[in-house]
Structures are given as C-alpha cells and as structure tokens.
Amino acid sequence: MSLKKRAGAVVERLSKLYPDPVSALDFTTPWQLLVATVLAAQCTDARVNTVTPVLFERWPDPEALADARTPDLEEVIHSTGFFRQKAKNLIASANRITHELGGELPRDMAGLTSLPGVARKTANIVLSNAFGIHEGIAVDTHVKRLSNRLGLTVSDNPIVIEKDLIPLVAQEHWGDFNHYLVLHGRNVCKARSPQCPDCVLDNICPKVGVSRQA
C-alpha cells in the first residue's frame, strides 16, 4: 500500500469512528481560540478549559486584553505553565491586533504567524476551527506520534512532518486530520500502551516503534 493510499484509509476509517470532530478547547470567537491554543502549549486542553472562563470574562477580546496588567494575566494563567512568556505574547498580540490590525484577527497563515508566540500549529488550528480555512495540518504531540507510527513520516520535526503529510491527505481533510489523530491518540493509540488489537487501523499500520507486546 502506498503512503497516499494508507493516509486515505486512515482518514476514511477514523472519520467513521469520529464522525463529528471538534476542538477540545472551549471558545466562542476566533480570538478566544487563539488565546486558548497559546495557553495549551505544554498544557492539557482540560486544564486550559478551567482557566479560560475567568480569563474571557475579565478580558473577552483583544482590546480588553491589550490594557491588561501583565501580573494580573500571569496570575490567571499561572496553572497552564510557562505563564510569563504566554502572558507576554498574548498581551503583545492583543496590542498588535487592536492598534495595527483594526481589531480583527488575521485570516491567513502569514498574518497569524506574525503575531508574537503564534507558530504554524496554532495558526493552523485557528484557521481551520474558527474560519474553515485549510492552509496546512496542525502537528501537535498526537499527530507527531501517530504519523510516525503509521509510517507517514520519519521526522520528529513538526514542520517537516506537516510537509510530509500535506501531499498525502486531501486538503478538505487537513483540519479534521488533526482532530482524528488527536482523538485516536487519546483513546486508542496511546503513547505508552497503544491498543493495537482494538484499533481500526491495525491491519494497515506498520506500528513503527511499537513493541511486540503492545
């Protein structure tokens, strides 16, 4: 089976297993998704979802956050880790959006990645989930792990992994592909104990790096 056929089979099978994939992060606006995604770096989505209600009630939009005191924001997001850098980047992004971009979040990769602390993964998540725009595939820890196990890439570099995946997956599935692998990585293809016998991908997966006992 070619890599493209394998990737297509992955999409087909996981789309049936997870028919309505959505972001695990709670948000109501594109800006709030950007904030939540920045906070989710090196932090669980569940933890972020306990922090953002307070954050969004106090600072619901870029204009409000642009005027936030850094120590106040740091206190609210402390439990997400790396809170000083995250607070610095979020306030800087809020100021740029408010004072240079007319209060509107950019709707393209170049514009989003020009914001402080926003790399391709975050931009891809925002574009796909908030705007329905697919410029690439968001590569997080689950996508990285499963893409390697499935033999779709041999790289550990998220940028290289994205480049490897893009020609293998139809563009209309780029956004959902991230969701599929995240959900499957959490539920079945776990980091330490992948449930291979129960996996719908078992007969097409080369199980790269998986021990025989898994």
Does residue 208 lie in a domain region?
A: no
Query: Which residue of the set 86, 140, 144, 164 is catalytic?
Result: 140
DSSP H helical ranges for the chain: 3-17, 30-39, 45-58, 62-66, 70-77, 83-100, 109-113, 120-126, 141-149, 158-165, 174-187
pLDDT at 1: 87
Q: Mark whether 34 and 126 lie in a shared domain.
A: yes
Does residue 207 lie in a domain region?
A: no
Q: Mark whether 55 and 147 lie in a shared domain.
A: no
In 3-state terms, what secondary structure has residue 133? coil
Q: Mark whether 149 and 125 lie in a shared domain.
A: no
Domain that holds residue 11: 3-21+137-198
Q: What digits encode the pLDDT tens for the residues 87-124?
A: 999 999 999 999 999 999 999 999 999 999 999 999 99
Residues of the chain with pLDDT under 70: 212-214
pLDDT at 49: 98
pTM listed for this prediction: 0.93
Query: Which residue of the set 4, 16, 45, 121 is catalytic?
Result: 121
Q: Specify whether 121 is catalytic.
A: yes
pLDDT at 212: 60
| DSSP letter assigned to residue 135 | S
Does residue 212 lie in a domain region?
A: no
CA distance 205 to 214: 13
pLDDT at 211: 82
